[in-house]
Structure 1
Amino acid sequence: MKKTIIMSMLLAAGMINAQNKTTKYGVFAGVNFSSLTGSDADEFKSRTGFHVGGFIWNYLSDKVSIDVELAYSQMGADFSTTIPYGINEMDGPKSASLNGKLKTDYLRLPVLFSYHPINELSVSIGPEIGILLNKELEYNQTINSSTKQKPDNLQQFDAGIKLKAQYIFAKHYLASVGYYFGMTKVYKNAEVYNLNSLVIVDAPKVYNSNLGISLGYVF
């Protein structure tokens, strides 16, 4: 899957170089609503972050462009679960609440194929890759103090597909909404400490997802 996404991006770069085109530049920033999805993602919930970056639109025709973006993006997920920690002779098994955040910061590079039905509006789809810049796991228990650590079992590289719609208003201002769904696992193929059963298990099969809402400026 990684090879397919990278090949798609290289193909788009070749199309850009092969065409006479109009080019537009701009910057954008906005809010992220990110989470983790997949068969092992029941305990994860949405986390709010932000993103900021810039873009280049390379027009192949009046209606079609290839858009390249580069952005810093805060992603990850919140989680909430319970863990067993002993047995009470009167009440049976005891458990404690565990709440926390998985914070992941990425440098993200989407290459989008865009269609412009009118000058102000475009809809886009294309591959996106991400490079992990920073990571932090923060959690607290009802029976213990809060803990922070840097997990060492996260993939350094992320890849998936992005969908986006954007609208230009007042000639230079831009509003957009985009959704990214990851296609590479967030965790490495390794064993981790399961928070529910307190035993070593295979790493969860979960993937990044993100809804981003942005405002920007087109030069």
Structure 2
Amino acid sequence: MKKLILTAMAVATFGFMSAQEEGIRFGAKAGLNIASITGDDTDDLDSRTSLHIGAVAEIPISEKFAFQPELLYSAQGAKQDIGGDDLVLALDYLNLPLMAKYYVAEGFSLQAGPQVGFLLSSKVKLDGDSVDAEGVNDIDFGLNFGLGYQLDMGLFFDGRYNLGLSNINDEGDSDNQNGVIQFSVGYKF
């Protein structure tokens, strides 16, 4: 089921790009994640510092507006101090952000859009040991807000916040969401 949804989303998002419209730019990006989990019983949790990496496409709609679908591997989760050791909940996703961009000045953009994430793995790590985490939803929905700056040569910088909208727990009564601050650098060809 997960593969079918992922395939359908990728085809829907990137399939229309084969028209070879002038102005469409493809690229890659990578950067820092500062991930957290919010909601019930999260007072003792700290953010997990990790990374994201993936592909982007920018499709101009007008002089000021563009659509930017992305496909990103994103390491998320949280950590907790247990007697001086970090207990880490490592949630790794394949995220598909669908960003609307508005250029307010030359190279400078405001960005917003929905995101769907597909869980790749969920682990609990402590002192070098790792076990599978149980009860994590396979799909995560969020809403992204951000800023970006792009140089004429194709180099770009983004800052973004992903507000989790769906409960990441598949079991129990707890209601928890992902929250991720992302800083990216990338290049569009």
| TM-score between the two structures when normalised by the length of structure 1 | 0.72
| Contact 2:13/2:69 (<8 A) preserved | no
Distance apart, 1:147 and its partner CA: 4.8
Given candidates 113, 135, 160, the residue that maps to 1:153 is: 135
Please give the secondary structure, in 2, of the residue aligned with 1:42. Answer: coil
Structure 2's unaligned 5+ residue stretches are 1-11
Question: What is the DSSP-based 3-state SS (H/G/I as helix, E as strand, rest coil) of the residue aligned with 1:37?
Answer: strand
Taking only the aligned residue pairs, the percentage that are identical comes to 26
Structure 2 residue 109 is the aligned partner of structure 1 residue 122: yes
Partner of 1:80: helix, strand, or coil? strand
1:75-121 CA-to-partner distances (Å, cap 9, x unmatched) read 1101136xxxxxxxxxxxxxx77740000111010001110122311
Q: 8 Å contact 2:117–2:140 — kept in the other structure?
A: yes
**C-alpha deviation, 1:39, in angstroms:** 3.2
Equivalent residue of 1:29, what SS? strand
Q: In the aligned structure 2, how far is the partner of 1:56 from the partner of 1:48?
A: 26
Matches within 5 A, 1:43-192: 43-80=44-81, 99-139=86-126, 147-169=129-151, 171-190=153-172
**C-alpha contact (below 8 Å) 1:21/1:60 kept by paired residues:** no
Which structure: larger Rg?
1
Work out whether residues 178 and 212 of structure 1, in 8 Å CA contact, stay in contact via their aligned partners in 2.
yes
CA distance in 1, matches of 2:167, 2:13: 25
Cα RMSD, aligned residues only:
2.9
Q: State the AA in 2 paired with 1:42.
A: D
Q: Which residue of 2 aligns with 1:218?
A: 188
Please list the CA deviations of residues 12-48 of structure 1 after superposition, one character each: whole Å capped at 9, or x if unmatched. 88x989xx77311111111110010113211211111
- TM-score, normalised to structure 2, is 0.83
Residues 63, 115 of structure 1: 8 Å contact kept: yes
CA pair 147-171 structure 1, distance change in 2 beyond 3 A: closer
Consecutive aligned runs of 4 or more in structure 1 exceeding 6 Å deviation: none
Q: How many residues are matched?
A: 179
